[in-house]
Amino acid sequence: MSSEKGPTESPDESTPDTDTRTERHSPTTSDRVPPRSESGSVVDRLTTRHAVGVAVILALAAGLFVAPSVYGAVTGPDGTVAVIEIDGAIDSSTAQHVEDNLRDARMNDSIQAVVLEVDSGGGLPAQSERMYAAVDRTASVMPVYAAVDTLGASGAYLAIAPADRIYVAPSAQAVGSVGVAGAAPAPNGPSAGTTGPDKRGSDPDTQRERRQTLANLFIENVIEQRGEEIELDREAIAHADAYLGTEAVANGFADRFGFVDGAVADAATEAGIDDYAVDTRRTENRVPGGIPLLQQDDSTVVVVDDSESDLNDDLILAVAPQTWDETVGEEIVMTSYTGRLPTDQLSSETNADDARTQHDDTGATNGGEPA
């Protein structure tokens, strides 16, 4: 008995395995991204490029404004101008202040120039000479300018004579006055102690000779430093007149009108620094008043100075007569002057000394000692 078998399915006719079959189908309408038009694509590209360009321009502009300030904050100024004050009566503390700060300026690489801010009628001769030497030394290595506010006379003028340029306020009251004065305690002031005939300088002729020697030294120093600028001869300079600011510029005792700020700017330009800092050095612990005096236990009055020289008949001060009261004070009177005295300042003591001077030397002028 035979059994019937169903037709055998060929492999080609077998049903595919749906688990391994990948179906392909087209996206639906909702899945499709609509095509961009050609004109829209160009506009978008232009808009993007425009926005990027604007951003770049703004960034560059911001950099131009910010970069200098950032660079300046990082690098600092190109250099410094030191402003050193010369104020009031010149004594040892004034000279020390000027010497120390000028030495620091020479040794400090950041300081490129110096301006001396001056308001002084003079003081002790030796201290004025110390300042003169310090200014001269500094002016040989950097620009040194001076600016006179109200007073720049006698010892103070000597001190600034080596400066490269001298500015004065038009209303300055006393500039110049290259002379020295003999001084003594006022009759109602402190006692000068005993000054016997054997004390050095007590002889009138010796006193006069010492004063004139100092005056000649001052005159020669001023001529050496400013001889080409001053339009006066030696005899006129020896008259030791004090000039107003306008007169000082006209005759060459000063170079131009100006104040501290202008002197600082010009000194910086001379030093070649456009971006600069200003370092002002004020006189510290300054005691108001004139030449400092001290009465000792033996009633001798001395100048409070390193030398503590006795205040007696042969005291010599580098102070202009016009500035005597505000520079020296009322405790010391002027007994003689190497230059030409203003007629309204001749005291009875000065007249007596002048009469002796005129009698001894016919070259004296208006009560002063021969120059």
pLDDT in tens, 89-127: 998 899 999 999 999 999 999 999 999 999 999 999 999
Count up the domains in the chain and report the number: 1
The pairing of beta strand 242-243 with beta strand 301-303? unpaired
> What is the end-to-end Cα distance of the chain in Å, rounded?
171
| Residue 326, both tokens | 């505000």
* Span 141-187, pLDDT tens digits: 999 999 999 999 999 999 999 999 999 999 999 999 999 998 877 77
| Domain membership flag for residue 132 | yes
With H, G, I as helix, E, B as strand and everything else as coil, classify residue 251: helix
Q: What angle do CA 157, 354, 184 make, to 5 degrees?
A: 65
- Within-domain flag for 230: yes
Nearest by Cα to 182 from 150, 205, 161, 159: 205
Q: Tokens for 342? A: 């203003």
The two three-digit tokens of residue 108, written as one number: 């400090």
Lowest mean pLDDT among 139-143, 187-191, 288-292, 294-298: 294-298
Structure-token pair, residue 259:
């104040």
Distance CA 270, CA 145 (A): 10
Identify the top-confidence range among 66-70, 196-200, 274-278: 274-278
| Assigned domain for 93 exists | yes
Range with lowest mean pLDDT among 13-17, 154-158, 272-276: 13-17
**CATH number, domain with residue 86:** 3.90.226.10
Calculate what percentage of the chain has a pLDDT beyond 70.
60
Residue 308 located in a structural domain: no
Cα–Cα distance measured from residue 275 to residue 184, given in angstroms and rounded to the nearest whole number: 51
* Angle at the Cα of 326 from the Cα atoms of 134 and 230, rounded to 5 degrees: 50
Contacts of 172 (CB under 8 A, 6+ apart): 148, 149, 150, 151, 152, 244, 245, 248
Residues 248-267 have pLDDT tens digits of 999 999 999 999 999 999 99
CA 215 to chain centre: 28
The answer on pLDDT for 3 being more than 50 is no
Residue 230: both structure tokens together: 């001053």
122: its two tokens: 């003079």
Q: Is there a domain that residue 105 lies in?
A: yes
Name the nearest CA neighbour of 113 among 93, 132, 141: 141
Does some domain include residue 325? Answer: no
Report the 3 state secondary structure along 85-121: EEECCECHHHHHHHHHHHHHHHHCCCEEEEEEEEEEC
Residue 264 corresponds to which tokens in the numbers above? 């600082």
Domain span at residue 250? 79-183+201-281
Q: What is the mean pLDDT of residues 352-359?
A: 44
| Contact predicate 277/81, CB 8 Å | yes
pLDDT classification of 335: cutoffs 50, 70, 90: confident
Furthest CA-CA distance within the chain: 185
Residue 341 lies in a domain: no
Distance CA 143, CA 135 (A): 10
Q: Does 317 reside within a domain? A: no
